[in-house]
Amino acid sequence: MRKAQLGVEFFLVTAVIIAFMLLLYTVATGETARTRTLDAALLSKTLVDDVSFAANYVTLSGNGSVLHRDVFAGAETNCFFYDSTEKAIYCTLEEEKMREFGVSGRRVFGRRLFAEPLMQCATPLAPGWYRVTTEQYNGATVISCAKLG
């Protein structure tokens, strides 16, 4: 009787452990997807803020000023677009992923720009590293992109 009871207890404990592992795996998988979406949004925000800062700095510095920034464009985002009503550069994310966080839009905006830039970057940027050059030329702020590597 004692051996049978130990065998049953072993299987019950094993079943509880397996159920707990499955639950933990399901939760971890969902959180990983949400973390990836948040990482993409943060990467986009960092990218557009960095380029917006460079554009504003060059605009305030005057004619002939140049500033280079090395930035990374992620695979989950579509970057560099300019919104003339917001006066800002933005990236877009997949809308269905953003709904999980209660975000109605899918745009990630950078800082407000002092002057409308001339964008000489292919949009959307392919994933990878870019050297973004912002320069003030004849009163216009020009933003150009060159893929690194």
Domain edges within the chain: 2-147
C-alpha torsion 117→118→123→129, nearest 10: -70
pLDDT tens-digit series, residues 1-29: 566 666 778 888 899 999 999 988 888 88
pLDDT tens-digit series, residues 77-123: 888 888 889 899 998 887 666 666 666 568 888 899 998 898 998 88
The Cα 51–Cα 63 span in angstroms is 18
